[in-house]
Structure 1
Amino acid sequence: MNYQNTLAFAQEQDQQDSLHHFRERFYFPQVNKQDAIYFCGNSLGLQPKSAQMYIDNEMYKWANMAVEGHFKGDEPWVNYHTLLAGGAARVVGAKENEVVIMNQLTVNLHLMLVSFYRPEGKRFKIITEGGAFPSDQYALETQTRFHGYNPDEAVIELFPREGEHTLRTEDILQSIKQHSEELALVMMGGINYYTGQVFDMDAITKAGHEAGALVGFDLAHAAGNIPLQLHDWDVDFAVWCTYKYLNSGPGGTSGVYVHERFANDNSIPRFAGWWGHDAKERFQMKKGFRPMEGAPGWQLSNGQILPMAVHRASLELVDEAGGMEALRAKSEKLTGYLEYLINDVHVGKDVLEMITPSDPQARGCQISLLVKQNSRLLFDKLMEAGIIVDYREPNVIRVAPTPLYNSFEEVYRFSEILHECLEAH
């Protein structure tokens, strides 16, 4: 696409954008008594205006039906999680019985590791990306320690080559092959939270399976950001949160994917709960756990109805917008325009370094800027000017224009403000 560094070009792109009107379906925070330019959907997505209606519906049922809301009305709470399965499956590229919405992200990650990290003999090691999000690091550390291993020996962290910021796919695959006889699990993020790099999940899964290991992904920064094909890629398991690109509220509910090959495998170890028990027998209250078929068999407790109601509103917006393919098509243009404008800002070239891959297929919505001087000062200036972005220690500003509610004009205005801040830097 031939971009131009002009307001007229940005406004023309918005006029041609079939998704532009979706920004009217969200609330924007106010800075200096006007809508902020919100480029922080990689941390917390904006509130859909429809979320209140969905919550109010459940509050009304709670007020007027109380406990009977579990079983009466058009959408009884006992089955509420099933209302989300189709939309969630479309977001991650799975079959409906391969997904379930439940709990929160790190809880679900631990539940999956209980089932899919099964060290035996010399196969006890886990490969992951170095500098993964701390929750993943802590989960792998404590799970390996729980099994009696030293995490420093059991967890193999992969880091970029010297002088580079992102991992090369060939290095990931080579490491899997190198450790194939010791490998129990490959567990990585779908997108690295710090650099915004998209990992080749298809190739990594194939390599992991060829090595005799199971393969799982934390999709916190991938779900709702890029198209996923978990079933076709043959991924064993995955987890994700819903409060970033899926706009489902702070601390919102989480998603789990388990490949259908495990749907009826009752030999898999798991931490069981009442809601994962065979629904036909659940209220017989008998001992002896019999899991439901597929991912729902990993449920512990009854559904978190209010967070799920928000997530339902968000999933319906994704479907209404045309699904992940439509969002991705706009995202590539929007992020490409951001990259073009940043590269066109000549002031401060010695201060900024883009550490996100330039290949559109190797990144999502996010561009990470390494700031070599006074990084916190630049971040503060942007925030004061009404640009809400994200700061990560020690010196990275993450900028994430999201296709559901951000515009080309906002990207243009950001570049103008960045230029002004750098001139004063």
Structure 2
Amino acid sequence: MGNKNTLAYAQQSDNEDPLKAFRNRFHIPKLNGKEVIYFTGNSLGLQPKNTKTYIEEELDGWATLGVDGHFHSQKRPWFYYHKFSKEALAKIVGALPSEVVSMNSLTTNLHMMMVSFYRPTSSRYKILIEAGAFPSDQYAVESQIKFHNLPYHEALVEIAPKEGEHTLRTEDIVKKIEEHKDSLALVMLSGVQYYTGQFFDIKTITEAGHKAGALVGFDLAHAVGNVPLELHEHQVDFAAWCSYKYLNSGPGGVSGIFVHEKHGNNPDIPRFAGWWGHNEEERFRMEKGFKPMEGADGWQVSNVNVLSSAAHLAALEIYNEAGMEALRKKSLKLTGYLESLLKELENENLLEIITPSDTNSRGCQLSLLVNSNGKAIFEHLTRSGVVADWREPNVIRVAPVPLYNTFEDVFNFYDILKKVIF
């Protein structure tokens, strides 16, 4: 194909891309009348053009049917709304449909999961997380530990990269688990680390946690819709995610959970209950005595946020069409192309890619450590029509998303960055 460091190469790659038509299914923001280079789908995915139709259908149902929309809405009766996303979500996270459900928001769901799966005893009470986990995860874990009246600094186990390194080694995670095996109650890591973009070895970590006698869960905010997941096969105990990043389901969009069937089919697992998790055949009897539905559905609390879930279904429709396997294949090429161009600019005194170079250990995102004038460089990129993400103290996160980003986007970003650096 010739020299990769050319616009012609990028355009030819786009012409050969079997997923190229999906870009037209999204609204691309503009700056001064020109489409931006949108590299922040790892923070908020773009709006699918079918989202408006899905939401308007529910607004029409509300307007014309009122409360009867719960059972008589022609397309999607609201009473069953949580079921309409199950098949798609199961494919995306590698689960059985009964093991997943969309509900609540991400941090709420992490709390709901820890209520059930962080059950500290006098001998097993520690939680292992990565140092520098997303703040919301840190706060959730901190509050759970304190809720149980445990000494925070003793119950919290954090694992950090080796000195001089930016990412965690799987063997060090396993070693830390083994080190605390007699007192570890829960391992809860992110699937993809938000700051570095590292994709953790979920299978190996889960096996190590279970061997140590702990339960294992994951925050998949940056992993779902981004990297291949096999939660059921890998015996993960639970997981939670948001839908507004790679799943393109709107700001603050409905979250989702995974509960492995070995737990989901056990009605005796403690949980915070609500009526939507109660046996739906008896729900409207309004009787005492909580009887959880089987599977992840038994963790539901309230009835579905229909308008948010409509946006979610619109996006999942596109995911179903594209397929996770094809998206991952393009993602590897797209981010690999970005990496190859940035390697020409990489200089550890100024610019360094801190995301793993091993494609099995990353998703779409590359995190660029900028050691000098980072904020000024970021602001120049913004003025030039690049929508990326700045993370203190000195990292620019860029994420070419295979559903709507192009190889030409990647080349143009590189071209702009090269000019501002040199």
TM tier, smaller: over 0.9
Shift of 1:263: 2.2
Q: Is the 8 A contact 2:345 2:351 kept in 1?
A: no
Alignment of 1:15-414 (within 5 A): 15-74=15-74, 75-321=76-322, 323-345=323-345, 350-414=349-413
1:345, 1:241 → 2: CA distance?
Answer: 34
1:103, 1:25 → 2: CA distance?
Answer: 27
Q: Is the 8 A contact 1:3 1:340 kept in 2?
A: no
2:106, 2:80 → 1: CA distance?
Answer: 21
SS in structure 1 at match of 2:53:
helix
Structure 1 residues 74-83 or 159-168, which shifts more? Answer: 74-83
Q: 1:190 to 1:337 in 2, by over 3 A?
A: same
| 1:330-380 CA-partner distances (Å, limit 9, x unpaired) | 00000000000011237x663111110011111100000011011111110
Q: Which runs of 5+ in 2 are unaligned?
A: none
SS in structure 2 at match of 1:232:
coil
2:258, 2:414 → 1: CA distance?
Answer: 38
1:264, 1:52 → 2: CA distance?
Answer: 37
2:26, 2:405 → 1: CA distance?
Answer: 10
Identity across matched positions, percent: 58
Q: Is the 8 A contact 1:3 1:337 kept in 2?
A: no
Aligned positions, number: 421
1:228, 1:136 → 2: CA distance?
Answer: 20
Q: Is the 8 A contact 1:101 1:254 kept in 2?
A: yes
2:46, 2:172 → 1: CA distance?
Answer: 37
Shift of 1:124: 0.3
2:345, 2:184 → 1: CA distance?
Answer: 46
Q: 1:227 to 1:2 in 2, by over 3 A?
A: farther
- Structure 2 counterpart of 1:173, which letter? V
| 1:93-132 CA-partner distances (Å, limit 9, x unpaired) | 0000000000000000000000000111210001111100
Shift of 1:73: 2.6
| 1:258-278 CA-partner distances (Å, limit 9, x unpaired) | 000112212211000010000
Q: 1:164 to 1:349 in 2, by over 3 A?
A: closer
1:36, 1:263 → 2: CA distance?
Answer: 44
Structure 1 residues 253-262 or 264-273, which shifts more? Answer: 264-273
Give 4+ residue runs of structure 1 displaced > 2 Å after superposition: none
2:192, 2:218 → 1: CA distance?
Answer: 9
2:202, 2:68 → 1: CA distance?
Answer: 44
Residue in 2 aligned with 1:6?
6
1:311, 1:2 → 2: CA distance?
Answer: 41
Q: 1:126 to 1:24 in 2, by over 3 A?
A: same
SS in structure 2 at match of 1:81:
helix
Q: 1:3 to 1:22 in 2, by over 3 A?
A: farther
| 1:184-242 CA-partner distances (Å, limit 9, x unpaired) | 00000001000000000000000000000000000000000001000000000000000
- Structure 1 counterpart of 2:305, which letter? Q
Shift of 1:60: 0.3
| 1:79-104 CA-partner distances (Å, limit 9, x unpaired) | 01100111111110000000000000
